[in-house]
A and B are shown apart, each in its own frame.
Chain A
């Protein structure tokens, strides 16, 4: 066991459109790389058992729990975090919908929720309430009772349909 994961590896990836490169211990989790190395603290850690989804980011177009990925596994990947979602200072429709529908209280689960929905609404632009609930099943929220999160997701879907195309996160 001794020393396992202590060797240093070089990783490079694109995060929110910007290329980044760093030497990190092989055992460093992607979430810690984002938070502690890159200072992108919008991605949160809420558990140590991959249950809560607070750490969700988009990796190569798919939502992943960044606490279940080593930083080196993201070598060469494109990562989108909550910080990269607004485009030129304009909120993404999902962010707008959360704001308008009071989809957050303490805000701790929110970045993960939004990133999960970003992936989900991309694949399912016309979801039912039941489908939204299923989509965020891996994201825990202790504040909202999910009522307004579900409402926000449905409102976001509508906004995005109104624009007529998938709204990509900014870079």
Chain B
């Protein structure tokens, strides 16, 4: 096994790039079918209203309009959407989301009518000619308002707007450990609502063949088979007659996991109209109608001892779900959040209660990190606040609390698989020159500069997920991954994976695994994904699962190929199977390297089939379904150094160091890319992004003018380092790297900013830490004068 690796661990440039850098990618909006017509959706001007009447007659008369369709049309043809994560033991309410509203609208992204026209310009003209009479209803957007008695009610099925109530207790009783504590810190944190903002908006094209009953839907999806299963069910068509294709997908970050009304509507209309129908979301619609992320109010209590040891964490959360319960929504603020509340620490008690609350806002679902950033934020903010209250260095508080060795069974019951938590922590401090910055900080403070250093140590459960656990939590299916590896007669290999990478680069990293294991050139391997007619049923790409779960499936399938190939090679070499060795793409007889056949010879022999042993079938392909034994647990420490301008209160990041241990890294070039992108999304939450609704439920930040996703000027260079502690239960040793950056970065930056202000007496400011919020916090605390005087 100590042989030199040719592909795994190498910085190999991507196989997907040649098409994408030459404009030859194929995104859904690039699909053009003969006879295709265009759909556009009318969204309501009210966040909560009864629909009294809809007059479509004027719109229908516009030349080029093929039809206008309202909720009445769809009501009996298409079943409403429901969540696929039926959270257990949480009294989850059966909230339904009609694809086109017919009685009430519940947020401004609901769909009230659909126009189909010969071209998109005409479709949008016709939207303006539809007359709808509404009876506005009282609106509630704030979770704390929504749970008050007398608040406007969204759904009859969910009294008090409570969609579920989930509780979890791990380890000792919180009140008991609190008795042993020297300090109790109580805080209310807002984890603000974010908008995923993939650069490609969502889109769908549907085409129906009435003769065969086959419906093909191209859709921006992270999980085409999940789309197929749910869409077939709501459309009432047999699953095998629906083909879902997700071609190149322009980013997802969770927002392309759910099944939405849009794709279901165009699918149904393609069947009814007998012409292909296309819909491409506008950016404004993307902000209104595609899921948002985060949005918690967290009441947190932490019990700690004088030496900084954190004994217990109690959290009461109101999680905003928006107007409906989206596909994976119930699992995000519960399983993926609550079970992460002890982090990489030896905490002895976790006590959490989460209410999922319905409001007149866009549905909230998994956004990069999904629950784990919210948990990490709470813990990492609290570590710093405990340090502050005890007069300790935040690094020392973490030293006291970090787990010493793995495997470790956390208080939540999760078994952390492998890791060197303290060692990686110390390494990050060293690389970032933590103590040097502490000196710089105090020196510069004397000159009036505000420098802060923030640490964030995280662990995440990913590689979602062992099916028995997923099912126990109420997830609709298992969370394994599939692959079909097909060796062609020439020895070239096609790999049909159920994963669906959309930027992560597994067309390359999966090919690396295959090429490494079969000893063939990477050029001989092609990865196919995203088409339900080609790949086995697969669960898709999210939750940092593609490499540890999908990649592990590839590894397993290739092992089966090698097993069969060895049998064939033995027959060709007229040797016993036990005597056949395989190395560098050649099978040879042990001790006789001159007696060999190549992998390509074997592939051909599998198809000529005349020299096969009696128990071996012709052909050379293998399928594998990999169901992980455990979650994987990447972890690490990120450190941000920031400067707050004492006049403009703008935050500048001076240095950002990420040290992540995601197990074995298949391709460091791609893994670094994941860290960079993830960190920037985390920084964006800390400093810039915030979805804002007015009290009437209008989204005030409904475009890039108002919702500030970072530009190249707003973010620093990111230094990414890896440690590689293999996941012992994973065939590749890989853990997943897609979300670590987002999870770690937000608290690292917030801690750094508050560290810069700590000497002034500011303990906490809710995100995003915009200049205005920093100024306001200082002003309200009467600290602006103190700051001018030098702050000492």
Contacts and interface: CB of A to CB of B under 8 A. Distances in A.
Interface of A: 25, 27-28, 35-36, 39-49, 51-52, 54, 81-83, 85-86, 91, 95, 98-100, 102, 104-111, 114, 129, 132-134, 136-150
6 contacts: A49-B704, A102-B14, A105-B673, A106-B200, A145-B678, A146-B676
A133 B712 contact: yes
A21 to B, nearest CB: 20
B248 interface: yes
B198 A142 contact: yes
B704 A47 contact: yes
Contact of A47 (B251, B283, B505, B713): B283
Contact of B676 (A42, A83, A100, A145): A145
Nearest to B283: A47
Contacts of A35: 29-30
- Please list the 3 inter-chain residue pairs (A to B) with the smallest Cβ-Cβ separation, ordered nearest first: A42-B23, A108-B250, A107-B20
Contacts, number: 172
A99 B250 contact: no
Contacts of A111: 21, 23
A35 B703 CA distance: 23
Contacts of B609: none
Interface string B705-719: 100010111010110
A144 B201 contact: no
B36 to A, nearest CB: 11
B677 to A, nearest CB: 5
B21 A49 contact: no
B704 A25 contact: no
A94 to B, nearest CB: 9
Contact of B199 (A39, A109, A147): A109
A35 B32 CA distance: 10
A82 B23 contact: yes
B705 A51 contact: yes
A111 B704 CA distance: 19
Given A25-B121, A42-B24, 18 more contacts: A35-B30, A42-B22, A44-B27, A44-B250, A46-B201, A47-B283, A51-B703, A83-B22, A99-B21, A106-B502, A107-B20, A107-B503, A108-B27, A111-B21, A143-B503, A144-B676, A145-B679, A146-B712
B596 to A, nearest CB: 36
Given A137-B713, A144-B673, A145-B679, A52 B23 contact: no
Nearest to B22: A86
A21 B248 CA distance: 30
A139 B709 CA distance: 11
B504 interface: yes
B669 interface: yes
A98 B709 CA distance: 22
B676 A147 contact: yes
A140 B199 contact: yes
Contacts of A83: 22-24
B17 A98 contact: yes
Nearest to B669: A102
Contacts of A147: 676, 717-718
Interface string B737-780: 00001000000000000000000000000000000000000000
Given A99-B13, A145-B676, A140 B709 contact: yes
A39 B250 CA distance: 19
Contact of B23 (A81, A99, A138, A141): A81
